[in-house]
Chains A and B, each alone.
Chain A
Amino acid sequence: MDERVTGELRAICGASAVLDEPVQLLTYECDALPHLRQTPALVVLPASAEQMQEVVRVCAREGLPFVARGHGTGLSGGALPVPGGVVIGLARLNRVLDIDIPNRQVTVEPGVTNLEITRQVAPFGYYYAPDPSSQQVCSIGGNVAENSGGAHCLKYGFTVHHVLEVEAVLPDGSLTRIGSRLADEPGPDVLGLLVGSEGTLAVVTKVVVRILRRPETVQTLLAAYDSISAAGTAVSEIIAAGIIPAAVEMMDALAIKAAEAAVHPNFPPADTILIVELDGPAPEVRELFAMVETICRRTGATTVEVAADEGHRLRIWKGRKAAFAAMGRVSPNYYVQDGVVPRTKLPEVLGRIRALSERSGLGIGNVFHAGDGNLHPLICYDESVPGQAELAEHVAGEILTYCVEAGGSITGEHGVGADKKNYMPRMFNDDDLDAFQKVRDAFDPQRLCNPGKVLPTPRLCGEVPGPYREHPVERAGLAERF
C-alpha cells in the first residue's frame, strides 16, 4: 500500500485505527468461513459516518477495492478481503444512538450486535425479532448486508422486514439516507434492494430498526420420531391446520448425537427431533398449542416433551443452536450447507441426501428450519484422509443441485458471498445475472465495493473450495464457534 494513502487514512481515522502489521491483519483474513482467506493490504476502523465517508472517498479516488466487515460471523465469505484492498471494519461504529419506545424504533450504528438491541429495549417489554444463531456476536451491519433470518423468521420474517431506514456511504463516497422512519416513502424500494446485497452496493453507517412487543406467551415442544418422513408429515399437518408457528425446527440422528455430546440438552433418543414453538396472546397459544400436540402424537411421535418453564425451553434451544459447532465433537471437519427447498419437497430431498451420504461414505447431519424448507446439511469428513475434503465439497455442491432441482435456492440465509458465487448460474441464467450486474454497476461503476462476491467469476486456479477449517483466532484459543 502506498505510504501516502496509509498516511491519509491515519489522518482521517487516527493512527491506531489503521492496521497494517501482518499480525494485526490475521484476524481479518477470513470471516467464519475460514477456508477462504486473503490478507488485506490494510484495515481501517472508522469511528463515525464522516470518517467512513472520507475513507470510502479515498478508496474511490485511488481505485482501491474495499470490503466492509461487521463482526466476521458470516458463513459465505462475504467479508473476504481483496488482495491489495482495504478492509473497513465496523467495530468502532458501535453506539446505540436512539431508543424510541413510543414509535417502536431503535437507531444504531452498524457495529452494534444483534442481541444488544434486544438487551436495550427488553426493560420496556420489547425485542428485536430477527435472531440468527450468532446473535450474541453478529453485527447489525452484517445482518443488513446478509438479510439475516433466524429460527423465528417463519412467523416474523427477515432483517428486510425489520429495517426501516439506513444511512449509507455509496461507493463514490457520498453519504445518503435510504428508506425512511416514516411509512410509504414514494418511489422504488431501494432499501429492499440494499438489504441482502451482501455489502456490494454501499456501506451502512446507521440503521433504524423496528422493535416488537415481546409476546405474552411462548410455548415450546419437542417431539421425537422414528423417521424424518413422520416428522415431515407432522409439519405439513400443522401448516394445513392453518397454524403459523414462531419456529419449526428439525434435527436428525447425527445432529442430535453431536448436540448431545456438546451441550447435553438431554434430547430423547430418536431418528428425528421436531421442535415447535408458538408465541402470542395466551388464549391463542393455549388453543393452538393443544392442536400441535395432538398432531404430533397422531403422526407417530414416540415422545412429546413440552417445555415446563423458561429454563427447559432454553435448554431445548441450546441443543438446537449448538448443533453446528457440536459437529466438531463427532467429526474432525465439517462443511455447513444452506440450501432451501419448498417445504413439501423436504422428504424427497432428504431422501436424496441420505442416499448421497451412503454413496459417498461421508456422514451428513441435518439441522433445518422445517417451516420454511431451509436445510443446513453438515457434511462430515476428515481432511487428513487424502481426497476427503474434495469429496466433501463435491457432496456439498450435489446437495445444492438437489435443492435447485426441487425448485429451491442455493442459500436461505448465509448469503452467496465468495463461497457460492459459482453456483449462481444453477439458479439464474446469463440475462438474470447481467441484470444483477447492471444494478450493481448503478451503485458502483468502478466495481470497488466488495468485489468478487455474489456474482460468478471464473474460478481461479488453486482456489480451495469448501470445508470447515479452524479460524486462526479459534486455533489460537481466543474464540469458540457456536
Chain B
Amino acid sequence: MTVAEQSRPGTSADAVDGVTPRFVAEPASGAACAAVLAAASATRQATVLRGGGTKIEWARPVDVIDLVVSTAGLSDLLVHRDGDLTATVGSGVPLSRLNTTLAARGQWLPVDSAFAATTVGGMLATNDSGPLRHRFGTPRDLLIGITLALADGRLVKAGGTVVKNVAGYDLGKLVTGSYGALAAIVDATFKLLPLPHASATLRAVYTDPSALAADARALASGQFEPLAFDVRAAAAPDGPRWTLFVRFASSPASVPAQLDAARTLLHGEITALREGIETRAWADQVALPWNGDGAVLRWSWLPARLPEVLAFVTALGDGCEAVFTGRVVTGAGLVRLTGPDAAVAAALARARVPASPVGHVVVLRASRALRAQVDVWGAAPSAPAIALKRALDPAGILNAGRGPI
C-alpha cells in the first residue's frame, strides 16, 4: 500500500513547526505504523513522528514535511503489573494518564514534564526530564523494554518486562534522545517506583549566588538522599534572586529528620513547603522556563562549576532577561531568554565558546527565524550515530533535516 492509501491529507491543523504535511497517518497498531513507514521509505517521504506535539518544534526548521505519523492510535495499551513494579504502555498514552493509573496502586513513573499532553513516546524520544532525575535518572534509566516500528516495515522488540535483563542489544536506550530519527516507538515497558510515604521541601532564597553555591555544595556532600535538588535564578521586583530547592521524600519519621538536618546547613531565607504548597512549588519550578514566549536553551555543566554557571547566567541578562532552572548534582538545566532574536543569538554564542562553563547547549524553543539562523543542536552527530542512522533509516526519512541525526 502507498502512503496515500494509509493516511489522510494534511490540513493546517496538522502543521508541524508551521509546515502543513502532505499526509497524516494515524496507525491503530504497531504493525500499521511499521507499514506506513515502509511505504514512506520506499518513496522517500520526509516523515515526522508526533506524540502529543508538545516538543515537536525542538528541531531545525524545514520547508517540507511529506508525512506526519501520529501515535494517537497507539494509546490503548496500558498494563500495570504492580506486584512486579513494572508497566507496559503504548507510546501514545499521555504520561499524566499513565501516572494517574499507577497512583491508584501507590506507584509512579517518576519523570517530570512541563507539558500536560506529553506522551510516553515523546518523553522517550526527547529523553526529557526534570527535577526528579536527581534520584531517578532520565527516562532511559527507567526503560526496560521497547517495541519499535522500523523504517523497513518491521516491528521489533528489545529488552523485556523484567528489570534485570542483559539479553540482546538495548535498542530502547538507543532510541531515547533520538527525536524520532531512528525508529517509531510503539510501546515501552518501565520499571516503577512506589510513591513516597511522606514528602517535604526546603526552599532557601539568596541574594548572593555564591552563598547559594556554598550551601549547595555542603548539602550535596552531606548524608542526605533528596528526591530532588534544584536551583533557580530569576528576577524579582527588587533585584535578582537565587533559590535552592531540596525535596525529601521517604518514610514519615525520616522526612522531618532530614529536613531539620538540612536546615542547619542553609543560610538563605528558608521556608519549609508541604502538601499542596510543595506540589505547586515543584510544578512551578518545572513550568517556569516555559512560561511566556522567550527562547529556551538546554545546557549542562560539571556540578562543581555551579558558581561559574550562576555568574554566567547573571551576565547573560545583557539585552534579554534570563530565567534559569537546573539540577544541582546532575548539572543539567534550562535557561529562558526573553528578548530580541539578535540578543538571544548573542547569548547562545557566548554559551558555546570553549571557555564557557556550560556545554551541550541546545536550542529547544525559539522563533522559527532564529532556529533557521543558528545551529540548533550545537554539535555534529558522532560517527557511530551516523552509522546507526544509515542502518535503521537508510532512506533518511525520519525527522529528515530536523536533527539531531
- Residues in chain A within 8 A of chain B (CB atoms): 100, 102-104, 125, 146-147, 149, 153-154, 157-158, 160-161, 170, 174, 176-178, 180-190, 192-193, 195-197, 201-202, 213, 215-216, 236, 239-240, 242-244, 280-284, 286-288, 340-344, 369, 372-374, 407-416, 420, 424, 427-428, 431-432, 434-436, 438-443, 454
Residue from B81, B141, B383 within 8 A of A176 (CB atoms): B383
* A170 engages B162 (CB within 8 Å): no
Known: A342-B83, A432-B156, A436-B168. 13 other contacts (CB 8 A): A104-B303, A160-B170, A184-B299, A189-B175, A193-B170, A193-B173, A197-B169, A216-B223, A284-B257, A288-B251, A344-B83, A431-B156, A438-B391
* A428 engages B169 (CB within 8 Å): no
- Minimum CB–CB distance from A178 to chain B (whole Å) comes to 7
A246 to B71, alpha carbons, bound, how many Å?
A: 37
Q: Closest 7 CB pairs between A and B?
A: A192-B173, A242-B194, A284-B254, A102-B304, A283-B257, A188-B178, A442-B391
A176 to B171, alpha carbons, bound, how many Å?
A: 20
- Minimum CB–CB distance from B345 to chain A (whole Å) comes to 18
Residue from A181, A192, A342 within 8 A of B81 (CB atoms): A342
On whether A344 and B81 interact (CB within 8 A), knowing A372-B162, A415-B166, the answer reads yes
On whether A196 and B303 interact (CB within 8 A), knowing A187-B177, A411-B165, A442-B391, the answer reads no
Which chain A residues lie closer than 8 Å to B223 at the CB level?
Answer: 213, 215-216, 281-282
* B225 engages A284 (CB within 8 Å): yes
Within 8 A of A (CB), among B131-174: 137, 140-141, 148, 150, 154-158, 160-171, 173-174
Whether a CB of chain A sits under 8 angstroms from the CB of B181 is: yes
A103 to B217, alpha carbons, bound, how many Å?
A: 10
Which chain A residues lie closer than 8 Å to B177 at the CB level?
Answer: 186-189
Which chain A residues lie closer than 8 Å to B304 at the CB level?
Answer: 100, 102-103
* A435 engages B165 (CB within 8 Å): no
A239 to B163, alpha carbons, bound, how many Å?
A: 14
- Minimum CB–CB distance from A286 to chain B (whole Å) comes to 8
Which chain B residues lie closer than 8 Å to A408 at the CB level?
Answer: 160-162, 165
Which chain A residues lie closer than 8 Å to B141 at the CB level?
Answer: 157, 161
* A409 engages B170 (CB within 8 Å): no
Residue from A192, A281, A412, A431 within 8 A of B174 (CB atoms): A192
Which chain B residues lie closer than 8 Å to A282 at the CB level?
Answer: 223
Whether a CB of chain A sits under 8 angstroms from the CB of B85 is: yes
A402 to B258, alpha carbons, bound, how many Å?
A: 45
- Minimum CB–CB distance from B297 to chain A (whole Å) comes to 11
* B162 engages A407 (CB within 8 Å): yes
* A178 engages B157 (CB within 8 Å): no
A432 to B196, alpha carbons, bound, how many Å?
A: 37
The 23 listed contacts between A and B (C-beta, < 8 Å) are: A103-B331, A161-B137, A176-B382, A182-B360, A185-B360, A186-B377, A187-B381, A188-B181, A202-B384, A239-B85, A242-B194, A284-B253, A287-B254, A340-B164, A341-B162, A372-B162, A373-B84, A407-B161, A408-B160, A427-B167, A428-B157, A439-B169, A439-B392
